Amino acid sequence: MKFKMHFCLAAWLAGATVSFAQVPGGSPGGFNAGLTKLFGDVTAFSAKAEARVLDEKEKEIMVAPMDFALLDKKVRIQIDMTQAKSPDLTPETIGILKQQGLAIMISIVRPDLKLVYLIYPAQKSSLAMPMPKDQADSLLQAKGKVEKTPLGKETIDGHNCVKNKVVVTDEKGQTLEATTWNAADMKDFPIQIRTTEQGNTSVIRFKDVKFSSPEGKQFDPPSGYTQYKDMQEMMQGIMSKSLTGAEKK
């Protein structure tokens, strides 16, 4: 039983960054900085959000509710895996994640530091990963072009929206394409964003949007946590803590 539990734990940690690469803005390693340019003049907000991932046949393969915050190009996303839905998240797997302190995962994107932090609060563990240089540079560039092409009008959660095709082009000519639903009564905020990458489509919808600035300390890694240099070291460290705790019991 212990072997099975720790095998599942190892598999989860090893696959965490891969799984969240499918979630727009939610991936510790797969975050595309260009997404933040879709928010236009809005440079600070916090919101509840739901990310959905669809396969090539538009079949839903993952749903993940999250807490999302933006402050001056910094992004913070918190996900509670007990609330997510995916074929890989069986009740047994969720039980193990809760038991091992891995149910809550936070990613902090810091283009100013060219780092992405992956944090497990219950384990008091964190990992700093290098952010792709082209993404960090693209986000920090003052110049760039955002082209919007209206596709029609739709209502999302009671908000009258203009559906737009958006193409973001940075100074180096790299582009990001998305479809956005911009709410007229919310400062043209993109209440829904749809992107397609590597055959999968990601849709994120924002709710309870607050345009006040979130606290700056939320975007710093917590002090006093065990710092790991890579995912393998974090995996081994957390499993070691788990085994030690089990032996003491």
Instruction: Give the pLDDT of residue 76.
Output: 92
Rounded to 10 degrees, the C-alpha dihedral 146/147/152/154 comes to -10
Residue 92 has pLDDT above 70, yes or no: yes
Give this prediction's pTM.
Answer: 0.82
Report the distance separating Cα 126 and Cα 179, nearest Å: 33
Angstrom distance (rounded) from CA 156 to CA 179 = 14
What is the structure's pLDDT at 10?
46
pLDDT at 70: 93
Q: What percent of the chain has pLDDT over 90?
A: 29
Amino acid in position 34:
G
What φ, ψ does residue 146 adopt, rounded to 5°?
-120, 115
pLDDT average, residue stretch 222-243:
81
Q: Span 80-92, mean pLDDT? A: 82
Rg (CA), the chain: 19
**Per-residue confidence band for 11, with pLDDT thresholds at 50, 70 and 90:** very low
**Alpha carbon 80 to chain centroid, angstroms:** 12
> Domains in the chain and their CATH numbers?
2-238 (2.50.20.10)
Q: What is the mean pLDDT of the chain?
A: 79
132: DSSP letter? P
pLDDT band at 107 (very low <50, low <70, confident <90, very high): confident
Q: What is the pLDDT of residues 39-80, one digit of tens each?
A: 988 999 999 999 888 888 888 888 889 999 999 889 999 988
Quickly state the pLDDT bin for 197 (edges 50, 70, 90): confident
Min mean pLDDT across 20-34, 183-197, 200-214 is at 20-34
Instruction: Assess contact for 185 and 159: CB atoms under 8 A.
Output: yes
Which of 45, 222, 217, 21 is CA-nearest to residue 135? 21
Residue 134 has pLDDT above 80, yes or no: no
| Contact criterion met (CB below 8 Å) for 66 and 51 | yes
Q: State the pLDDT at residue 248.
A: 52
* Contact in structure between 111 and 73 (CB atoms under 8 Å): yes
Measured CA to CA in angstroms, residue 107 lies from 1, 23, 27, 211, 239 at distances of 31, 12, 7, 21, 20
Kindly give the pairing relationship between strand 226-228 and strand 125-130: parallel
Among 169, 195, 196, 164, smallest CA distance to 180 is for 164
- Higher pLDDT, residue 151 or 105: 151
Q: Could you identify the residue written with the tokens 């992107």?
A: 195
- What pLDDT score does 136 carry? 60
**Which range among 137-141, 197-201, 225-229 shows the weakest confidence by mean pLDDT?**
137-141
pLDDT-derived band at 191 (thresholds 50, 70, 90) equals: very high
* Cβ-proximal residues to 249 (8 Å cutoff; 6+ apart), any chain: none
Residue 139 pLDDT greater than 50, yes or no: yes
**Structure token pair of residue 240:** 């070691």
- Check residues 79 and 30 and name the one with the higher pLDDT: 79
User: 25-56 burial, b for 16+ CB within 10 Å, e for fewer?
Assistant: bbbbbbbbbbbbbbbeebebbbbebbbbbbee
Segment 14-24 shows an average pLDDT of: 44
Which residue type is seen at 58? E
Euclidean distance between CA atoms 102 and 82, whole angstroms: 10
pLDDT of residue 168: 85
